[in-house]
Structure 1
Amino acid sequence: MEKHLLTLLVLLIVPYYNFNFVQGSEVKLSQAEKLAIKRRLKFINKPAIKSFVTQHGDVLDCVEVHKQLAFDHPLLKNHSIQMKPNFKIPKRAKLNDNSSSILSVSQLLPRNMRCPKGTVLIKRIQEKDLMMEISSFSTSNSSKFAHPNDVQLVNEIASIGVSTPNTGAAGKINLWSLDDVKPDQLSDATFYVRSGDGLNVNAIVAGWAVNPYLNPNSPTLYTYWTIDSGKSTCCNNALCPGFVQTSQKVTLGQALSPVSKRLGHQYFLDLSVQQDVRTKNWFLLNGEETVGYWPKELFTSLANGATQAGWGGEIKSPIIEPTPAMGSGHFSKENFSVACLMKWLELRAPQGFPDEKAIEYYMTRPECYDIWYRKSPGTNENHDRYDDDESSNWKNFIYFGGPPGCKH
């Protein structure tokens, strides 16, 4: 059973693709492919009422809400936009220590960068975004590129999962920059909800990712969705129609800063994915800010709720290259302010978060990347690896990750 679930996880995250690359360098494209990229950029990027350039070089456009790319999806032609969920957005718990803080909306986007009424904030897709997509881990069903070099990809994961009917998951993930990730590699820290079996898995993934095409060595807000285990219908961020943006303050793909420092201050991204049980749409929230949602029309089984959820990290890399770091680049045993930490893990389920005995571990290469789960003191009798009193209010949490250079 465990082996079967692990196989499903790998199929869910990334299929194997052909691509043309130079090891450790940028993807090389033909003139015809470059022209195709230009045509696609024109299709993706809708006319902007107003635009901003952030300190990270991201171009953020204010696009009329009903003219965004999402509605180019054939299943959303008659979709009614839902600007806010029907469920009550809970006040997110604040960190009560001096060594950590949650990345605020004003840190993500200064107050002088705001979109006018009737528009939403959307990161302008640039050529580098599409280069990321078609390098080593293309997962968009709208990608038209297939190269002849047939290079096998490696996808390693270190995560925990639960098999419980639910309508959402959440977690606070500390942010790290990674300087060893190559253009044809990806490293991320995410959580997911999913349903279905085999090659028919519906899933939504949310968290942060590092890839030099997206933002050199720095994390970006990252999402992914699929309805067939990543086989053909799937999408990274907003590279294809589907996700409906509703926020004027936070958008998919934007750079995240400041980041955590080893043995220093820790910065956390506070994310949740939750289904509106009335409309069946799946909402993404950054703290108390509604970023947007995946409409129910996109999904088959996930429209009726999720049956599984999970939290952890993954890397993707060509098999001929040493793999990049996961998380912070340190193993779970190195603990607070060194290893990657995801705390306040939440599950939207009638019985709440499952007991520890229901937690399943998925580690494809435990000698390279590992994960460690616990409940805070007072809810679990095994207290053998708590650093200090800080962990007493973390509820359910995980440490995970590993250094670069794992060879195959």
Structure 2
Amino acid sequence: MSKFTDLKYWLLILTIFTDEGLVEGKTTIKARNKAIIKTIKVGNAEIIDCYVIYRQPSLNHPLLCNDTIQLTPSSYPKGTKLDNLGTLQLTQNWQKYGSCPEGTIPIRRQGKNYNPTLLRKHHYPGLSPYENLVTSQSNDTTENYRVHEHTIIGVHGNFRGAQAKINLWNPFTETREMSISQICIEASKYKDLNTIEVGWHVYQDIYGDHQTRFFIYWTTDGYLSTGCYNLLCNGFVHTSSNISLGCNFTEVSTFHGDQKDATFSIQKDRSSGHWWVHVQGTPIGYYPSSLFTELSKTATSAKWGRHTSTQMGSGHFPSEGGLKTSSYFNWVQVFDENNMIKDPKNVKKRVTKPNYYNLEIDSDHYRTNGYGFYYGGPGYNDKCQ
């Protein structure tokens, strides 16, 4: 980003600060000398605050206080095809009520349901896709974590990121349950586990509803005390004025009807080492390399799939039919140590409860959809023991 462009951002911000306030979506806020220069009321349920990018809360993290914000990635992986994106016209519901000015970022105001301790316990996977329950923890600690079911594929190696085009659905979830569809990169394991996770989920404990929402997540100690969803703790540096973390998509797939999907990716910047999150080719922001212990170097595994203890995807097994019936991932790819986009090799598949959910590799449509798979299921049903 050039000095001229940075100056343009600051001139915009100074101009906005001289105004008494901006009104949109039936809400007003006095903007003078505040980090929030505009507030957008989204119906009766949500509020979006437009923060000056250089004064966003994440920069209060002790490891980021002296960092210079990277406004755009310095490069993209070799072989990136910007025309190979999902069918979704990337819009979120809040955009119907207003927009954040250039030089600001939209932050969904934290709901009263947020409980970081509870959410870490709910999110902890309990079972690694390839290993048994963590044995290094005490029985008391282990009993507090909810074991989720998985339909996952994964690879091991050294990677600079991963991506996939993910089918969007709105699965039914029971109270206090969640359903997640995501890409995950990892390094190390157990209490030293570092992860970055990107995708969509339905999670009433955070949002108070059952809508399908864009999310990110990170941890540096195996979900024990660090990390969070979205911007519910400091760490992720948000740079996009158009996409808000934790907000719902305007469109999802329908059974035997229109299918909606979006391309999600996590990429390590060659220059800064930061881990950038992209949706539909749009850079949303990054996790600074300094946040991590193991991921400060490279990712040693990448995983794609679902974690849930309730309905998964469309709620239908892959055996019931492919497109328009079961959910899918396609164009599943990794970024290798040379920053090249490649298909995953030596893939391992993990399905914890085949009578609840299943996963089938889609080898029939490789030419058009790349490496991919169908997955899903209803959760508990008559076949379950």
Q: Normalized against structure 1, the TM-score is what? A: 0.73
Q: CA deviation at 1:72?
A: 2.1
Task: Summarize the Cα distance change of 1:106–1:402 in structure 2 as closer, same or farther, 3 Å threshold.
Answer: closer
TM superposition shift of 1:55: 5.5
- What SS does the corresponding residue of 2:225 show, helix, strand or coil? coil
SS at match of 1:303: coil
Q: Secondary structure at the match of 1:250?
A: coil
Structure 2 counterpart of 1:189, which letter? S
Aligned residues: 328
Provide the residue aligned with 2:328 in structure 1: 341
Contact 2:92–2:243 (Cα < 8 Å) also in 1: no
Unaligned 5+ segments in structure 2 are 1-33, 125-140
Q: 1:401 aligns with which of 368, 376, 379?
A: 376
Fraction of identical pairs, as percent: 28
The residue type equivalent to 1:273 in the other structure is I
1:69-218 alignment, distance < 5 Å: 69-88=57-76, 90-94=80-84, 102-106=87-91, 110=95, 113-130=98-115, 134=119, 137=122, 153-179=146-172, 181-213=173-205, 214=207, 216-218=209-211
Deviation at 1:243, TM superposition (A): 0.5
Deviation of 1:155 after TM superposition, in Å, equals: 1.2
Instruction: Give 5+ residue unaligned stretches, structure 1.
Output: 1-45, 96-100, 140-147, 316-322, 380-391
Query: Amino acid of the residue matched to residue 359 of structure 2?
Result: I
Take 2:344 and 2:122, find their aligned partners in 1: how far apart are those partners? Answer: 35
Deviation at 1:274, TM superposition (A): 0.5
**Partner Cα separation in structure 1 for residue 145 and residue 285 of structure 2:** 34
Pick the aligned partner of 1:248 from 196, 216, 241: 241
- Match for 2:273 among 258, 262, 280? 280
The 5 Å alignment of 1:281-320 reads 281-315=274-308
Match of residue 223, structure 2, among 221, 230, 235: 230
Quick one: structure 1 residues 135 and 245, their matched pair in 2 at CA, closer, same or farther if it must change by over 3 Å? closer
Q: 2: CA distance between counterparts of 1:92 and 1:138?
A: 32
2:200 is paired with a residue whose SS is strand
* Secondary structure of the structure 1 residue equivalent to 2:69: coil
Change (3 A) 1:138 1:48: farther
Residue identity in the other structure for 2:193: V
Maintained 8 Å contact 1:375/1:394: no
Report the AA paired with residue 184 of structure 2.
Answer: Y
- Contact (CA 8 Å) 2:42, 2:97: kept in 1 or not? no
**Aligned partner letter, 1:325:** Q
Would the aligned equivalents of 1:168 and 1:306 in 2 still touch at CA under 8 Å?
yes
Alpha-carbon distance in structure 2 between the residues aligned to 1:233 and 1:135: 9
Offset, 1:58: 2.9
Matched AA of 1:172 = K
Give the one of 347, 353, 367 matched to 1:365: 353
Post-superposition shift, 1:258? 1.0
Q: Secondary structure at the match of 2:113?
A: helix
SS of residue matched to 1:329? coil
Q: Quote how far apart the aligned CAs of 1:352 are.
A: 4.4
For each residue in 1:351-394, what CA deviation from the matched residue of structure 2 results, as whole angstroms up to 9, or x when unmatched? 743565x01012222221211223455x6xxxxxxxxxxxx410
Q: Does 1:326 align with 2:312?
A: yes
2:267 is paired with a residue whose SS is: strand
1:170-213 residue CA offsets vs partner (Å, 9 max, x unmatched)? 1111111123x133111111011111133211110110001234
Query: 1:207–1:271: 8 Å Cα contact kept in structure 2?
Result: yes
